[in-house]
């Protein structure tokens, strides 16, 4: 990928992060609220302004009508015609519109050349377009008028050109729309900037928590030094982290102490029993008892060791042996190791792997964890069953699956099986410590991997998913015992 | 064979000396780190058994000091710390083998024997021979009484290890570590099944049986 491409990708990622952040969503909500309230406010202003202007026009028309009506009452049709003519002559470019027409709407007098099309409403109001022939172009604008029918089926129209009114109304509407758009844009921009800032602070917290989950308990969240609420949150979290670190160090110390203080006497016990058995000699009745006691002691020690081991792995930081490794030969070794046991139980063990699947991890711990899974599959799948091991390697994930067609585990118990001493059959009669899957989970978590129990229809399918690494940064393993 | 045991637990040390004496290994004992270092540096021992946690001087510090001084005596580290990290530390400090407490005496004995016999007959070999069982390491062929035996690659490695340690008890853990190269704790008797398969190939149609099970300890390929 080119550097520019990578930058573009970074930018895309960043934008997605901002868009998905809760602070940005909050900002969007504010933009919406603000826009709606601004729209309501501006709408009200528009409505009252335009309404006022309409009323003014209507009042003017009403006054004209009153004047004309008076003339008509006093002097009849000639008086009315005179007044109309006078008014047109007095103000030729004015806003007044007059037309007197006969019963066939043929104009008699007025400043309209024909009766406008359109049907007046119940109160006699009519809206129409005025066409004004100018020297260079024709101008078309709105007018409003009231129409009356006079005696002898004469028709009178009195109205006003409302061009200015319409223009003002349009101006106000435009100004309001722009104002609204600008408000929304500013709010959006502000929201973006704010959420970006918030996101940066949150990202610092996220990064720290990821580092800590990967086992670096000494990490702390950086403070901005401003003492704001984020700093207070970070300080609180840092206190908590310090406390956790102390507690975990304590757990480690205690388990080391237990290990040291109990293991030596237990070794003594075991050695004494072995000596006792040797001293009694083969065939002595008590030798068999000693043998039993040794077996019991070994079982006890096995559980004790497994518990200590899980505790140590769970406390993290157990990464000295982490190295790049290919899981394909590891799983192949596992299949090869367990194949005879499966065969002895009449089971078929199959292996299906990718060419290579590089991850970073602890070879022995992974082998132990996957071994426990295969061990369970062999143990719980009935005779003649099928056990399938597979490794798939994609760019995103390496997935190891151990699938069987045995009785499976009810979905309700999927969360329980990783608990220490849990037994799916509820009894403690089957052999095993009940710690196998606890150890598996501890190892999986140490590797930052995920484990899923799935229904194999029928049977159980356990999938462990790890982050892949490139074979390019592999190194030869540097440890291990070598005997000739 | 003379071995130095550096172990602060007096009782355990006494039992180990007694038990080692019974299998023919003479043992000197040092109860703390300082004495242990002095004795190990001054005496001539075939192997050291070194406890990791000692009063006076830490076991790993003794090991590093000895190795830095050019002392190459095989060292078996005993430890109450059993995790992979601990094992890695022990081996990096110069240990040859690492055994976690509590251990079976048979395990200690088998591992100690393996350490004591290293250095002998370490010249590169191309053929191994135990009675009438022969292994050609170059052609990767096995015959018994002149008749060829077909082995899987892992069975070949298993037999090779057993033949190299013919006459010694090898434990299941040692086989897992050396033949399969994994440090892990199997929950079932997987090694037994592999060994019995191998036995079926090399012993079934022949006499006498060579591959023996040592109760409570492991396996032994008869040398005579």
**B91·A312 Cβ contact <8 A:** no
* Cβ-based contacts of B100 with chain A (< 8 Å): 263, 305
For chain A (484 residues), the mean pLDDT of every run of 10, in chain order, is: 70 75 77 84 84 86 85 84 84 79 84 81 82 67 83 83 82 85 84 81 85 78 85 90 86 74 80 83 84 84 81 74 91 94 94 93 92 92 93 92 90 80 58 78 90 90 90 49 40
Closest residue of chain B to A262, computed from CA coordinates: B80
Residue of B nearest to A322 (CA): B85
pTM as predicted: 0.66
What's the pLDDT band for B48 if we cut at 50, 70, 90?
A: very high
All CATH 3.40.50.2300 domain ranges in chain B, comma separated: 2-116
Query: B181–A278: do the CB atoms touch at under 8 Å?
Result: no
Would you state the pLDDT for residue A480? Answer: 43
pLDDT tens by residue, B49-82: 999 888 878 889 999 999 998 888 999 999 877 6
Chain B residues whose beta carbon lies within 8 Å of the beta carbon of residue A269: 102
DSSP string, B103-159: --HHHHHHHHHHHHTTTTT-S--SEEEETTEEEETTTTEEEETTEEE---HHHHHHH
Considering the segment(s) A229-314 as one domain, its CATH architecture is Orthogonal Bundle (1.10)
Domain with CATH 1.10.10.10 in chain B: 127-221
**8 Å CB contact of B190 and A337:** yes
A159, A141 contact by CB (below 8 A): no
Task: Give me A60's structure tokens.
Answer: 């003017």
Q: What's the confidence (pLDDT) of residue B122?
A: 58
**Topology adopted by domain B2-116:** Rossmann fold (3.40.50)
For A296-369, list the strands marked E by DSSP: 322-326, 348-353, 358-362
Q: What is the ipTM of this complex?
A: 0.86
Q: Same fold for the domain at A229-314 and the one at A322-473?
A: no
Task: Give the integer Cα–Cα distance in Å for B40 and B6.
Answer: 9
Q: What is the rounded distance in angstroms from the CA atom of residue A198 to the CA atom of residue A186? A: 18
Q: Is the pLDDT of residue B92 over 70?
A: yes
Specify the pLDDT at position A351.
95
- Give the E-state strand segments of A45-137 in sequence order: 96-101, 107-110, 125-133
Tokens in use for B67?
């190795």
Choose from A254, A257, A263 for mutation: most chain B CBs within 10 A. Answer: A263
8 A C-beta contact, residue B110 and residue B217? yes
Please name the member of B81, B96, B194 whose beta carbon is closest to the beta carbon of A259: B81
**pLDDT greater at residue B161 or residue A191:** B161
Q: How far off is chain A from B147, nearest CA to CA, in Å?
A: 25
Question: Does the beta-carbon distance from A267 to B83 stay under 8 Å?
Answer: no
Q: Which residues of A touch B184 (CB under 8 A)?
A: 364, 367-368, 371
Query: What's the fold here for domain B127-221?
Result: Arc Repressor Mutant, subunit A (1.10.10)
Helix extents (H) in chain B: 10-22, 33-42, 59-68, 84-92, 105-116, 153-164, 172-175, 190-202
Other beta carbons within 10 angstroms of residue A100's beta carbon come to 21
Give the pLDDT of residue A431: 52
Over pLDDT 70: what percentage of chain B?
A: 96
Q: For residue range A416-441, list pLDDT tens digits in order.
A: 788 777 766 654 445 566 788 889 99
Residue A132: the pLDDT is 67
Per-residue pLDDT, A484: 38
- Return the pLDDT at B154: 93
Q: Tell how far CA A213 is from the center of its chain.
A: 21
Q: Where are the domains of chain A?
A: 229-314, 322-473
**In whole angstroms, what is the distance from residue A224 CA to residue A230 CA?**
8
CATH placement of domain A322-473: 3.30.565.10
């Amino acid at each position: 990928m080119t550097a520019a491409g990578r930058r573009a990708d970074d930018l895309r990622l960043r934008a997605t992060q901002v868009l998905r952040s809760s602070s940005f969503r909050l900002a969007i909500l504010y933009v919406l609220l603000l826009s709606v309230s601004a729209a309501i406010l501006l709408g009200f202003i528009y409505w009252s302004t335009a309404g006022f202007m309409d009323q003014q026009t209507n009042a003017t028309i009403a006054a004209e009508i009153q004047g004309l009506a008076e003339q008509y009452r006093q002097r009849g049709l000639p008086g009315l015609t005179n007044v109309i003519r006078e008014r047109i002559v007095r103000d030729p470019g004015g806003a007044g519109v007059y037309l007197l027409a006969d019963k066939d709407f043929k104009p008699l007098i007025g400043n309209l050349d024909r009766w406008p099309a359109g049907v007046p409403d119940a109160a006699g109001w009519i809206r129409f377009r005025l066409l004004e022939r100018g020297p260079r172009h024709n101008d078309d604008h709105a007018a409003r008028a009231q129409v009356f029918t006079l005696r002898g089926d004469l028709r009178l129209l009195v109205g006003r050109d409302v061009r200015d009114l319409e223009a003002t109304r349009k101006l106000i509407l435009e100004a309001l729309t722009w104002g609204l758009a600008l408000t929304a844009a500013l709010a959006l921009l502000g929201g973006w900037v704010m959420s970006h800032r918030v996101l940066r602070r949150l990202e610092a917290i996220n990064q720290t928590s990821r580092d800590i989950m990967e086992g670096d308990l000494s990490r702390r969240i950086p403070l901005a030094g401003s003492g704001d609420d984020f700093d207070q949150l970070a300080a609180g979290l840092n206190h908590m982290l310090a406390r956790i670190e102390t507690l975990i160090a304590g757990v480690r110390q205690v388990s080391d102490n237990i290990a040291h203080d109990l293991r030596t006497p237990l070794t003594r016990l075991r050695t004494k029993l072995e000596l006792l058995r040797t001293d009694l000699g083969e065939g002595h009745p008590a030798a068999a008892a000693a043998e039993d006691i040794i077996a019991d002691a070994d079982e006890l020690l096995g559980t004790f060791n497994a518990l200590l081991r899980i505790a140590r792995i769970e406390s993290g930081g157990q990464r000295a042996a982490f190295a790049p490794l290919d899981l394909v030969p590891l799983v192949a070794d596992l299949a090869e190791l367990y194949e005879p046991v499966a065969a002895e139980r009449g089971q078929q063990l199959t292996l299906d792997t990718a060419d290579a699947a590089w991850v970073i991890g602890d070879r022995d711990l992974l082998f132990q964890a996957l071994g426990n899974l295969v061990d369970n599959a062999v143990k719980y799948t009935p005779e003649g069953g099928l056990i399938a091991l597979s490794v798939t390697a994609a760019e995103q994930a390496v997935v190891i699956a151990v699938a069987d067609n045995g009785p499976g585990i009810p979905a309700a118990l999927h969360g329980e099986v990783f608990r220490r001493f849990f037994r799916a059959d509820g009894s403690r009669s089957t052999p095993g410590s009940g710690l196998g899957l606890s150890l598996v989970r501890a190892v999986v978590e140490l590797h930052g991997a995920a484990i899923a129990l799935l229904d194999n229809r029928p049977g159980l399918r356990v999938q462990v998913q790890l982050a892949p690494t490139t074979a390019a940064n592999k190194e030869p393993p540097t440890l291990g015992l070598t005997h000739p | 064979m003379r071995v130095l045991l550096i172990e602060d637990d007096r009782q355990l040390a006494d039992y180990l000396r007694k038990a080692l004496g019974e299998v023919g290994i003479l043992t000197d004992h040092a109860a703390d780190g300082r004495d242990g270092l002095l004795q190990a540096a001054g005496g001539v021992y075939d192997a050291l058994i070194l406890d990791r946690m000692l009063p006076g001087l830490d076991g790993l510090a003794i090991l590093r000091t000895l190795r830095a001084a050019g002392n190459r005596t095989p060292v078996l580290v005993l430890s109450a710390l059993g995790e992979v990290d601990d094992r890695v530390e022990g081996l990096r400090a110069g240990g040859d083998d690492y055994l976690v407490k509590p251990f079976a005496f048979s395990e200690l004995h088998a591992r100690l024997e393996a350490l004591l016999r290293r250095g002998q007959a370490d010249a590169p070999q191309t053929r191994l021979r135990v009675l009438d069982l022969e292994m050609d390491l170059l052609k990767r062929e096995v015959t018994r009484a002149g008749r060829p035996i077909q082995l899987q690659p892992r069975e070949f490695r298993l037999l090779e290890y057993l033949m190299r340690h013919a006459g010694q008890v090898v434990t299941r853990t040692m086989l897992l570590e050396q033949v399969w190269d994994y440090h892990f704790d199997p929950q079932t008797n997987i090694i037994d099944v592999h060994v019995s398969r191998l036995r079926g190939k090399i012993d079934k149609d022949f006499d006498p049986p060579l591959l023996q099970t040592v109760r409570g300890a492991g396996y032994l390929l008869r040398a005579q």
